[in-house]
Amino acid sequence: MTEASRFTENALSDWMKGEGPDSDIVISSRIRIARNMQAYPFPMLATNQQSKEVLEQVAQVVHNEDLETISRFSMVPLSELNELERRVLVEKHLISPALANESRNGAVILSDNESVSIMVNEEDHLRIQCLCPGFQIKEAWDLANQIDDIFETHLNYAFDEKHGYMTSCPTNVGTGIRASVMIHLPALVLTQQINRILSAITQVGLAVRGLYGEGSEALGNLFQISNQITLGQSEEEIIDNLYSVVRQIIEHERAARQKLIYETRAKILDRVSRSYGVLSYAAIMDSKEAAQRLSDVRLGIDLGFIKNVSPQVLNELLVMTQPGFLQQTAGEKLTPEERDIRRAQLIREKIAETG
C-alpha cells in the first residue's frame, strides 16, 4: 500500500467514527488557518524554484519532535496522486478543489486519523485544517492553534503589526482563520423556516455554503456555516460568535423536529420509510437523489423511527457515493450512468449490512 492510498481507500476518516456533542445535528466542526512565509511570494506568483523551497522548509517541520507529540504525520506530494485519488481527498474534505488542480509543488500533510490536514502551496503557503466530530469548534481551534504555534516556531511567517497575518486573499487578512461547522437541517427545510434562518445568519457576519464550500450546492440539507470576518476581531471573538449562532440554530432545528413529530408524524414517518425503502432496493440513483434520501433516513434515525442503521454508515455513504470514490473503488473511470448504478449498489449493500 502506498502512502497516498492509505488515505484514499477508506471513505470514513478515523476521526469521524467518534460521536461528538450534538452530533444528531452537527456533523463536524472545522478550523482552517491560512499562513504564508515572509521571504516568498504567494503561491500564485512564486516561481517553480520558490514553491519548491517552501515545500522543502515545510517538510522539515513535519518530522519535528514537537509535531510528533500531537500525531504521526505523512506528507503526500500532489504529484504522487492520480486524478481520482485527488478527487477522493476533495470528497473527504482533506484537500480543496484548488489544490487538487494544482500540480506545481503542491502537497498535503495528513495526521494518521485524518483529523488534521495541512495543504502546502495552495492559495497560501500553508492552510492548516483541523476537524472534530460534532459541535466541537473550540476544541478544533485549540488543536489548530497548537499546530500553528509549532510551525510558527520553525518558519518565518508573513505578519504585519497593524494588519495581522498576510494572506493571498484580502478577505483572510488578519487572523487568517476560518471557523465552520457542517450542520444537518432537514426539519428547518421541511417546515419552510430555512430561508428565514439563513437570512438571519448572513446578517450577523456569517456565510452559508454547501457541502463542498464556496459555490457548492446544499445537497442533502447539509450546510456549512462559517465566519466571513477575519480582520478586526480576535480568534476567540470569531469562534465565540460562530458558537453562539450555531447553538441557536441547533435549538431551532430541534424545535422544528418536535413540530414535525407532533403535527405531521404520519407524513414524516412515511417520507422517512419511503426513502429507506428506495435506498434499500433501488437499482440506479444519481448523487442528488442519494443525498436527499440519505438525509431523510438520517432524520428518521435521529427521530427514533429507524433503529437498525448507524449514523456513521450514512456519513460514510456521503463520501462513498461521490463520483471520485465510486470510480476509485471500481478501479476505472465510469460513465454517469455506470456511476448511478454503482452508487445504488453500494447503498444497498451498506444498508443490508446493518439491517
Do 279 and 153 belong to one domain? no
Work out whether strand 159-160 and strand 177-184 pair parallel, antiparallel, or are unpaired.
unpaired
Does the annotation list 134 as a binding residue? no
Query: Which pLDDT does position 355 carry in this prediction?
Result: 62
Q: Does residue 243 form part of some domain?
A: no
Q: Does 158 share its domain with 227? A: yes
Would you state the pLDDT for residue 3?
63
Pairing of strands 222-227, 177-184: antiparallel
Tell me: is residue 31 an annotated ligand-binding position. yes
Q: Is position 155 annotated in a ligand binding site?
A: no
Report the candidate in 270, 214, 194, 273 with the shortest Cα–Cα distance to residue 96. Answer: 214
**Burial of 184 per CB tally in 10 Å (0-12, 13-18, 19+):** buried
Last residue within a domain, chosen from 203, 235, 267? 235
Q: Do 217 and 321 have their domain in common?
A: no
Residue 217 pLDDT:
56
- Whole-model pTM? 0.90
Which pLDDT tens digit goes with each residue over 68-85?
Answer: 889 899 999 999 998 888
pLDDT tens-digit readout, 2-16: 666 678 777 777 777
pLDDT tens figures, 116-158: 999 999 999 999 999 999 999 999 999 999 999 999 999 999 9
Q: Is 213 annotated as a binding residue?
A: yes
Q: Which domain holds residue 271?
A: 254-354
Q: Is 176 annotated as ligand-binding? A: no
pLDDT given for residue 103 in this prediction? 67
Q: Per the annotation, does 28 bind a ligand?
A: yes
75 marked among binding-site residues: no
Mean pLDDT, range 198-204, rounded to an integer: 88
Domain count, the chain: 2
Q: Can you give the CATH number for the domain in which 170 is found?
A: 3.30.590.10
Residue 298 annotated as binding site: no
* Burial class of residue 285, CB neighbours in 10 A (0-12, 13-18, 19+): buried
Q: How far apart are CA 279 and CA 259, in angstroms?
A: 26
